[in-house]
């Protein structure tokens, strides 16, 4: 049944793309994608989210499953790009969606709030609160609105500073709420502020992928050591080369998701 659901969900996405499905902006309902059965209908949606306590705002893009989809039947592929709050945060969404449906995951791309230049915390400034914002968005705008989604099968993908944010800020603080894994491409880091990491992310597997000559290589090694010290599975795959993210990140993402979910 899981394999059948995965195939049908993939067919729904591809038919929707061929039909020219449009995005919904600022929370406006989008055009429904064609589907083989009503329970697997999905809506591609781009919307704004405002965190109510501190007022931070940002965009997110998701292929929203139908309300008729079975409860806890789909996982989430949450993507954080190092460009942060810029307009390019979801420029790879179509490719992200193609990869996500192979694993019965719903694609989600999140923009850093309030036009921040990057997701990650900085060593020389006050906490940005981006981890709190991301958790609030996931709670209120993603899981609360889509009962079909389960936290037990979540994959977090970071690129560059997005990886640094996930490994050093978000997952030390909130990883204990999720099962699945994290694929961290060309970046990583340990917490810079007093993030509590006791018991954090015990249900996740980490995979770091980076080139040996990348300028973030040293701090990525530091991140691996941080998670290994917490007895969290953390694998490092080092590639030849000296560029920053100068490899096929889509192929790496596909390989990484397969690894952290232990799927062939």
The CA-based angle 107-116-257, given to 5 degrees, is 25
Q: Report pLDDT for 264.
A: 53
Q: How confident is the model at residue 60 (pLDDT cuts 50, 70, 90)?
A: very high
Q: What is the CATH number of the domain that holds 217?
A: 3.40.50.1820
Structure pTM? 0.84
Whether residue 76 contacts residue 142, with contact meaning beta carbons closer than 8 Å, is answered with yes
CA distance 178 to 52: 23
Q: Report pLDDT for 83.
A: 81
Its domain, for residue 16, covers 2-260
Confidence check: pLDDT of 175 > 60:
yes
Beta-carbon count within 10 A of 109 CB: 22
- Report the chain's mean pLDDT, rounded to a whole number: 84
Q: Report pLDDT for 194.
A: 56
Q: In the chain, how many domains are there?
A: 1
């Amino acid at each position: 049944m899981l394999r059948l659901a995965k195939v049908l969900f993939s067919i729904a996405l591809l038919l929707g793309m061929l039909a020219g499905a449009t995005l919904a902006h600022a929370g406006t309902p989008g055009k429904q994608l064609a589907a083989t059965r009503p329970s697997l209908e999905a809506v591609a949606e781009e919307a704004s989210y405002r965190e109510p306590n501190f007022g931070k705002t940002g965009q997110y893009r998701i292929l929203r499953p139908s309300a008729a989809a079975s409860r806890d039947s789909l996982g989430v592929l949450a993507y954080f790009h190092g460009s942060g709050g810029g307009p390019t945060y979801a420029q790879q969404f179509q490719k992200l969606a193609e990869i996500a449906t192979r694993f019965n995951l719903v694609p989600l791309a999140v923009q850093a709030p309030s036009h921040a230049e990057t997701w990650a915390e900085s060593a020389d400034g006050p906490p940005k609160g981006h981890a709190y914002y991301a958790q609030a968005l996931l709670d209120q705008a993603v899981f609360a609105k889509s009962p079909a989604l389960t936290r037990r099968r979540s994959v977090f993908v970071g690129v560059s500073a997005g990886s640094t944010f996930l490994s050093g800020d978000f997952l030390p603080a909130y990883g204990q709420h999720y099962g699945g894994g994290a694929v961290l491409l060309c970046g990583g880091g340990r917490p810079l502020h007093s993030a509590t990491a006791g018991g954090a992310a015990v249900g996740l597997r980490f995979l770091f992928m980076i080139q040996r000559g990348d300028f973030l290589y040293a701090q990525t090694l530091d991140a691996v050591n941080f998670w290994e010290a917490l007895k969290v599975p953390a694998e490092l795959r080092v590639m030849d080369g000296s560029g920053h993210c100068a490899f096929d990140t889509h192929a790496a993402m596909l390989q990484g998701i397969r690894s952290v979910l232990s799927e062939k």
